[in-house]
Amino acid sequence: TVPGVNEVRVVETAERKPLRILAIASGKGGVGKSTLSANLAVALHRLGVKVGLVDADIYGPSQAKLMGSEDKKPVAQDKKLVPVTGVADIPMLSMAHLVEPGKALAWRGPMAGNALGQLIDADWGDTELLVVDMPPGTGDIQLSMVQKHKPAGALIVSTPQDLALIDATRAVSLFDQAGVPIVGVVENMAGYACPHCGEVSDPFGQGGAEHVAGDLSAPFLGRIPLAIDIRRRSDAGDPPAAGEGAHADAFMAIARKLTD
Ligand code: ADP
């Protein structure tokens, strides 16, 4: 017999929230984009966000080192990669997990784009937010990222230096054209406190990124100082955001602004 309408039980399906992508971008390399991506992932995790981390810097991956997961190898299940875990058990994937250490990649754009697709379309489980460390500049990977993977937002990192700022505005126009909102601008390497005399100097100038944020009508999310400890801990696979103190606070403050 066919059950009446009222007898049909509604099967509760566990609705999974769609995976949102936050692209961390900069116009040029060496401004601290990878450092910020790792620390922001850790800070968001500390705030209770189910966060994952993708290293989209296919040619110069650094997240495996920053997150202390260099010796891990992802497996494939049902044709999807299963992420490895880094600091604080954050799920993550980087090209560094797939290629032999120190081996240069000589891929053309489309191959690199496919590789990025595999990292992003991996089995992310209940991850809600994927922090994606973008390669510097505005090339093929960046285009494929904004067109195919549709980030929910982009965060721009810059040093206070003029050249880095000009490049940052170029990166912004890539996202603008694709309709990806700029969630904010972070100034990195702002202010250096001399470990000997304590005097604070500004090797790369001061306040530039805040101006750019103003010009773009994007929120200025904060400054991270240039500090030996940040470099040391990053190299050791122990992101400062996982600890205590002023540097952890600086990253936590940015993460809080993003979750508000
Ligand atoms: P990008 O991803 O933009 O190329 P990285 O995050 O790899 O930049 O940073 C470049 C170098 O600068 C790394 O050696 C990193 O440890 C160092 N670095 C980044 N941010 C800081 C900072 N705020 N203080 C000190 N060193 C930093």
Which residue carries 């230096």 as its tokens?
Answer: 161
- Residue 254 pLDDT > 60, yes or no? yes
Q: For residue 191, give both structure tokens.
A: 């202010």
pLDDT above 70 for 59: yes
What residue's CA is closest to ligand 1, atom 22? 226
Distance, in Å, from the CA atom of 106 to the CA atom of 108, rounded to the nearest integer, reads: 7
The encoded tokens of residue 71 equal 């010796």
Whether 1 has a pLDDT exceeding 50, the answer reads: no
Query: Residue 169: its pLDDT value, please?
Result: 83
Quick: pLDDT tens for 177-201: 899 999 999 999 988 877 788 777 8
- Tens digit of each residue's pLDDT (9 = 90 or more) over 220-230: 999 999 999 99
Q: What is the mean pLDDT of residues 30-54?
A: 97
Strand (E) or helix (H) holding 36:
helix 33-46
Q: How far apart are the CA of 36 and the centre of ligand 1, in A?
A: 8
Q: Is 253 helix (H, G, I), strand (E, B) or coil?
A: helix
- Ligand 1 centroid, distance to 63 Cα (angstroms): 12
Instruction: Give pLDDT tens digits for 142-177.
Output: 888 888 898 999 999 999 887 777 877 888 888 988
Cα torsion 40, 46, 48, 49 to 10°: value is 20
Residue 105 has pLDDT above 80, yes or no: no
The Cα–Cα gap between 140 and 114 comes to 11
Mean pLDDT, the chain, integer? 86
Helices marked H in 67-135: 109-120
CATH number for region 16-259: 3.40.50.300
| Of 138 and 23, the one with more pLDDT | 23
User: What per-residue confidence (pLDDT) applies to 104?
Assistant: 61
- As to burial, measured by CB atoms within 10 angstroms (0-12 exposed, 13-18 middle, 19+ buried), residue 260 is exposed
Q: Please report the ipTM that was assigned to this predicted complex.
A: 0.99
| Domain residue limits, the chain | 16-259
The Cα–Cα gap between 5 and 91 comes to 43
pLDDT given for residue 212 in this prediction: 83
Q: Evaluate: CB of 30 within 6 angstroms of ligand 1.
A: yes
